A and B are shown apart, each in its own frame.
Chain A
């Protein structure tokens, strides 16, 4: 498989005075080209930490060991700080969990997009601006001109998440890490954002590592899925297989924990205003 993201035997330890904590143990993950791969688990299971290691953004006191961490052909473990900076945003991008706080409140949206674009591409300001406009339009933002001039506080949560998606896709990265991108949004907006993520990934030839605790979303969105628990991968495989016939008891329990144990939800038609029927998890 030609993988865009390939992590082999990743372990992360946090040394402390009395007890060493091993937050991630022998985790191996592969995300193939054009694939959307889910990484599922409860909070504290090490999902985000695993993803941060792929960007070289682990906390300063973490001890990381891995046989391989490869992003779009770059060996992350062998890169120095400058090289790491140059792949972040260009080869590997992040859609953060909290759209409300993930944009700098003192800079206009246009400026923030421009900064990301000009960090990685030799462009004049005007070219970067045009590119930013294009990125926003790609995320079906109706009047991108107004959004470019807006400050983050003028935008709703869903709008901010679209801006962050536009930012993440702006340099057409090989892989995008989406860290629970819809958890902070309300249910009606969630589906729109997921659709945009899917469309953006297809349009920019970007693979996605989708971190979530929502198996319903995995069912709808992901090709393959890894189930993580207490720092270890307990099960992985094609998303639908894993959800329909979970092998590991933990996955079975995760599925059983969906409210009223109903089957995963069907996609919400775009533009539908009422709340989704069936189970939905509070954000």
Chain B
């Protein structure tokens, strides 16, 4: 029973971690270019994503327009870069809301236990039983279509996903010997939750959030695709793909490039999550 060596390994260097988890490597390889391009979109794109040029409508990829142009002659490379930027920001907002609120709700539920716990968890069950897209549709149409409302709606809907995990972690962490030791030293409940329980669930929640990012990207793009998120002329991956629907048969580049970027991002976050899980809680670490 020696957890020390395992614990030390997990704080190893980045190359070591990459060698131990091919998933992490693959995830980073997919995500790094996308994230870099999204952050540097204003620097990289030499066209304005909103500049209409009807003369240049639906041009095939060329040196001047590497991804081609859309039906209004806007440069697709610029639109995809800005679109990725918008999609990533939206997904990040969704995950931030969901993970933060979910951690609080789940910790509260798991730590208190008893009737409170049952009540909260049954509510969570109800939300998980209804198909996600259906409530997302209802909420976004009730709030009115806009990106901010989409972030709020999808963020709130993802709370149960994080709350379940946080509850399970809180249930097991509150029985840890160091929590008992803290009780015996006179710590208060609030203090135990803040200093002993939440910090020790962070690594697991990061894994979940990373996997949640891919779901959030897909959900926000899907809602924008059906017109409940980003509004034209805003560049957002789902909205761009929506615009391309009528041209999918003849102007292949219009759908392909935003679609590929969307898939890379979603897949990349999934792999990153798996990779982080391999590294943060490797099976067989004695606790």
Residues of A within 8 A of B (CB): 55, 57, 85-90, 93-94, 96-98, 100-107, 115-116, 119-120, 153-154, 156, 164, 167, 177
Contacts and interface: CB of A to CB of B under 8 A. Distances in A.
B186 A85 contact: yes
Contacts of B200: 104-106
A229 to B, nearest CB: 25
Given A101-B176, A153-B3, A153-B7, A107 B195 contact: yes
B287 A101 contact: yes
Interface stretch (B116-124, B134-142, B177-185, B210-218): B177-185
Given A107-B195, A153-B4, A101 B177 contact: yes
Given A100-B1, A100-B3, A93 B185 contact: yes
Contact of A85 (B1, B4, B188): B188
Interface in B199-245: 199-200, 202
A196 B181 CA distance: 19
A104 B184 contact: no
A153 B8 contact: yes
B186 A119 contact: yes
Contacts of A97: 177
A154 B200 CA distance: 17
19 contacts: A57-B180, A87-B186, A88-B183, A88-B185, A89-B185, A93-B185, A94-B184, A94-B185, A96-B180, A96-B181, A102-B178, A104-B195, A105-B178, A106-B199, A115-B185, A115-B195, A119-B186, A153-B4, A167-B185
Contacts of B8: 153
Q: Interface centre among B183, B184, B195, B196, by most A CB within 10 Å? A: B184
A263 B8 CA distance: 43
A102 B195 contact: no
Contacts, number: 72
A104 B178 contact: yes
Contacts of A105: 7, 178, 200
Top 9 nearest A-B pairs (CB, nearest first) are A94-B184, A89-B186, A89-B185, A88-B186, A153-B7, A106-B199, A101-B177, A102-B177, A102-B181
A107 B185 CA distance: 16
Interface string B157-194: 00000000000000000001110111111111000000
Contact of B187 (A87, A107, A119, A164): A119
Contacts of B181: 94, 96, 102-103, 164
B23 to A, nearest CB: 25
Contacts of A119: 185-187
A153 B4 CA distance: 6
Given A115-B195, A119-B187, A104 B182 contact: yes
A253 B273 CA distance: 56
B118 to A, nearest CB: 15
A55 B195 CA distance: 22
Nearest to B202: A106
Given A57-B184, A90-B186, A120-B186, A96 B195 contact: no
A94 B7 CA distance: 26
Contact of B183 (A57, A100, A167): A57
A115 B4 contact: no
